Amino acid sequence: MAASDSWSHTLRNAILFTFAGVIACYVAWLLRAELLLLYVSALFAVVLRPAVEFVSGLNIRGWHPFRKTAIFLLLLLALAGIVAFGALALPPVIRDLQSFAQDMPSRLPAMMARIQRIPFADQIDTANLISQAQGAITKGATFLLFSIKDWASAVFTLAMGVILTVYFTLEGDEAYGWVLSFFHEPHRARLDATLRRAQLRMGRWLLGQGALMLIFGVLSTIVYSLLGVRYAYALGVLNGILNIVPVLGAAVSVGLSLLAAAVDSWQRVVGVAIFYLIYVQLENSWLTPRIMKSSVDLPGLAILVALLLGSALAGIVGALVSVPTAALVAVLLDEYLVVKDAQPAA
């Protein structure tokens, strides 16, 4: 009778645990966007922790910045960089756009004459072409008008991510201790040591990513300057900054470079396109695997698979955090699942 009661009690607990697990998975699916934002913010807090500790450890005439001051200084430095880039890059672009708009009425007849010299151009319905262009412009303006809500939501999400990252950096130790408190002491010490090893590898990811950004930015500036592309320095800086987003960031920045090159000549467009194609092959097949392997100690194949899975699961954000996440998973698997050979006795 006692065995039967024990079996029914175990079965009831298993059923309740299964239902609780299903409900938890359903709630997590409903809150997947919020949970992803929390995870990305916590991950960036871990990645940026070495930089915060470096700034807080500075000795400025006997004064050591606190962690809050270090975070404020880093945010101020980032904001100053953005303002400086805008102040240096935007005025030439705005000046050229104004000049182009002023010269358009006088250039339009010459442009139409060049179009007429193209073979079979007389068969083109110019009026219909202009009408379609006006319609496309109207549709584009309407799309931008209705997408303001989406842009506002994206800006809010970005701002919330920055705020959460700051809070995780300031209060992450308390949250980390709270999570560890759910484990018993022998397991707690082991998990703590494992996660601290993962933190070191994840922190080195920022160095590797910074190296990739610097390489792409410098090479872009040199190539664009040799090709005579407008705004070569500004485009080079933009290429380096956007390269923090794997694949898509470089594609967007090079798309802007192609537009800048198209203003002058198609030869420059071809030169920028050839440079980008060569660099993409170089970065994906050689630079990223080697630099990331030396920084986060992951095989090149694992890095490429992580980038592929991250972008498939969460798009740009997933690709952005795929490598540090892979480093975390690798440390956990190595500690808890990989069977290590026993050391022979001396």
> HEC string of 11-59?
HHHHHHHHHHHHHHHHHHHHCHHHHHHHHHHHHHHHHHHHHHHHHHCCC
Supply 182's token pair: 């759910």
CA distance 186 to 194: 13
Supply 89's token pair: 């890059």
Q: Kindly give the confidence (pLDDT) of every residue in the chain, 346 residues in length, as a single tens digit, with 9 standing for 90 and above.
A: 555 666 676 777 778 888 888 898 888 888 888 888 888 888 888 888 888 888 877 777 777 777 788 888 888 888 888 888 778 777 777 777 777 667 666 665 666 666 566 555 555 555 565 555 555 555 555 555 555 666 677 778 888 888 888 888 888 888 888 888 888 888 888 888 898 888 888 888 888 888 888 898 899 999 999 998 888 888 888 888 888 876 677 778 888 888 888 877 888 889 999 998 898 888 877 887 778 777 777 877 787 788 888 888 887 788 888 888 888 888 888 888 876 655 555 4
Q: Which residues lie below 8 Å from residue 260, measured CB to CB, with a gap of 6+? A: 229, 230, 231, 235
* pLDDT at residue 274, as a whole number: 92
- Inter-axis angle of helices 300-320 and 322-336, nearest 10: 130
Question: Whole-prediction pTM value?
Answer: 0.71
CA distance 76 to 73: 5
- Terminal alpha carbon distance of the chain: 55
Instruction: Give whole-number Cα distances, 90 to 93, 99, 232, in Å.
Output: 5, 14, 13
CB of 326 within 8 A of CB of 303? yes
* pLDDT at residue 288, as a whole number: 77
DSSP code at position 343: P
Ramachandran class of 62: left when φ > 0, alpha when ψ lies in -120 to 50, beta otherwise = left
Q: Is 200 exposed, middle or buried (0-12, 13-18, 19+ CB in 10 A)?
A: middle
* pLDDT at residue 346, as a whole number: 46
Tell me how crowded residue 10 is: count the other CB atoms within 10 A of its CB. 10
* pLDDT at residue 219, as a whole number: 92
CA distance 214 to 329: 27
User: Angle CA(27)–CA(33)–CA(39) in degrees, nearest 5?
Assistant: 95
CA distance 55 to 72: 10
Helix (H, G, I), strand (E, B) or coil at 202: helix
Tell me how crowded residue 252 is: count the other CB atoms within 10 A of its CB. 14
Rounded to 10 degrees, the C-alpha dihedral 175/176/178/183 comes to 160
